[in-house]
Every structure is written in structure tokens, then in C-alpha cells.
Homo-oligomer: A and B are copies of this chain.
Amino acid sequence: MKIGLVQMAMAADPDANLANGVAKVREAARAGAQIVCLPELFRSRYFAQREDPAQFGLAEPVPGPSTQALAAVARETESVVIVPIFERRAAGLYHNSAVVVDADGRTAGLYRKMHIPDDPAYYEKFYFAPGDLGFKAVDTRAGRVGTLICWDQWYPEAARLTALQGASVLFYPTAIGWHPNEKAKFGAEQRDAWRTVQRGHAIANGVYVAAVNRVGLERPAEGGGGDGIEFWGTSFVADPLGVVIAEAPVDRETILYAEVDPGRLEEVRHGWPFLRDRRIDAYGGITARFLDDPS
């Protein structure tokens, strides 16, 4: 199975981003990709750099304009498309979501980001209610896959719970970058930590991991402070042994392709059969916030 990751730079105009996304999905499908994944919140610049109620106007329902446009492309190209959405669920209730559109244009799954960050210039807790659908793997014409979103990638539980549902690929639409004033000092180790923890999920679970980021320096919308975020691209695919088999550049748009080989997944899990030996009798503490008193 061939997958295509659309690493994009976002324009100010949401319609331009949709047109760009549609064109890139078509291009990826023409190149043989059976599943194509767009980056997190691909319709807009990363508005969560500040807290601004006006930005809720960017949200759309599911189904809505973005999913309908991409569903048409999925049907036309007979490829599965993963469509990240700023989801309007009700007045005052929004999610950071990803819709899996199957190759016939029908919705195969909806995932709502479960772990919501709140850090300087990533004020997502203001915009997004935490997901209430849990972790999800879904069947598509191109195989069983899971979707997680950005901050989820730091949580081994998220990867595990998706892999335990039989996903062979974990897709992580993402919007992550450097604070320009931190890049020189901490940039290399931050990006490496981001890649490493996800490679670790691939290894621990014996699955493919595909991270899809945006590129470009985005300054806060008018009225905001700060010097922006330099999104670091570096979209990549790791195989079930954590080997990076494809990686995109740090600073420009590209479509990254990789082959997902079920035989490789099977082989790696035969060699290191981690799922066999999990101590499910002893993992109950995972549902605690902290084990201050582990007695």
C-alpha cells in the first residue's frame, strides 16, 4: 500500500488552502497513493497562536464544505483521504478533528483530538473541547488505519489504544514548529524529541507511523503579539521497527510517499512479539492522574 502525506504551507485565504489541498490529493492519487493525509487544520493558518473568538468563524460542520470537497476527490480518484477539520459541533462547541473519507467518498470515521495542548502560542484549550469519541482505528478500502492529531503524539496511551484496534498505520496530522527565539538554542533537540517519541510508538506497537506537518513562518493574526511559529515540516513515515523510511524537508511543500508493507509489519512482530507479553493484569494504574500513593 502506498501512502501520501501532503506537507503544506498555509495561505491566509481558507479557500486557497482548500484548493491547494484538493490539488495535492489529486496529484498524490495520480502518483499511486491509496491513502492521502492532509495536515492538521489545513484550511487555515494556525489561529491558536492567540485567543480570539472571531476565529470560531473558521469552523465548519461535519459533513461540511471541506469534507464534501475532499469526498468528491476521494470518489473521483478512488483514494482514501484523511481530512483534518476545525469542527463546529454546536454553537460554542468545537473540536479539532479528522475525518477519514473512504475511497468511495463515504465517511469511514471521525476522530476528535483527545489531548488538547495549551502552551504559549498554542492556545488550543480555548478553541477545542477535548474529544469524546475515544481512540479510533477504522477500516478503509486501503486497510485499517488510525488517526491521531498533533499533541496526541506525545502520549503512548493514544498510540497503544489505536494500535490495539488493529491499525497498521497511525496517521498524525500535525501543526508543530519552533518559537523563532528558541530555535537556535533548542530547535534541534525539540524536533528530534518529536520524531523520536513517535518512532518509539512505531516500535512499541509494531505499526507504521505517519506524521504530516505544515511548513512556513506564520505570524499571529492581526492584534496578536509574539513573533510567530516557524512550522518545521519534517513530515515522515517510520516503519514498525522505527526506521524512518521517508522524510520531508523542513521548509517547503512536498508530497511525501511511502510504501506500507503488511509483510514487514508481520515480520517485525514475529521477531519482537511485544503484544504477547503485555501485563494487562498490572496496568490499571494507567487511569490514575498520578500515583502519589501506589499502595
Contact = CB atoms under 8 A, between A and B. Distances in A.
| Interface hub of A196, A271, A273 (most chain B Cβ within 10 A) | A196
Contacts of A287: 280-281, 283-284, 286
A243 interface: yes
Interface string A161-204: 10011100000000000000000000001101100110111011
A289 B285 contact: no
Number of contact residues on A: which range applies? 35 or more
A135 B291 CA distance: 11
A277 B130 CA distance: 10
B204 A282 contact: no
A202 to B, nearest CB: 9
B280 A189 contact: no
Nearest to A153: B204
Contacts of A223: none
Interface stretch (A10-18, A42-50, A54-62, A114-122): A114-122
A159 B166 CA distance: 23
Contacts of A165: 291, 294
A156 to B, nearest CB: 3
Contact of A196 (B115, B160, B242, B284): B242
Contacts of A280: 286-289
| Interface hub of A190, A193, A200 (most chain B Cβ within 10 A) | A200
B116 A277 contact: yes
B203 A193 contact: yes
Nearest to A194: B203
A55 to B, nearest CB: 21
Nearest to A136: B294
A155 B163 CA distance: 14
Given A197-B200, A204-B200, A283 B286 contact: yes
Contacts of A117: 277
A146 B284 CA distance: 18
Contacts of A243: 189, 192-193
Contacts of A151: 277
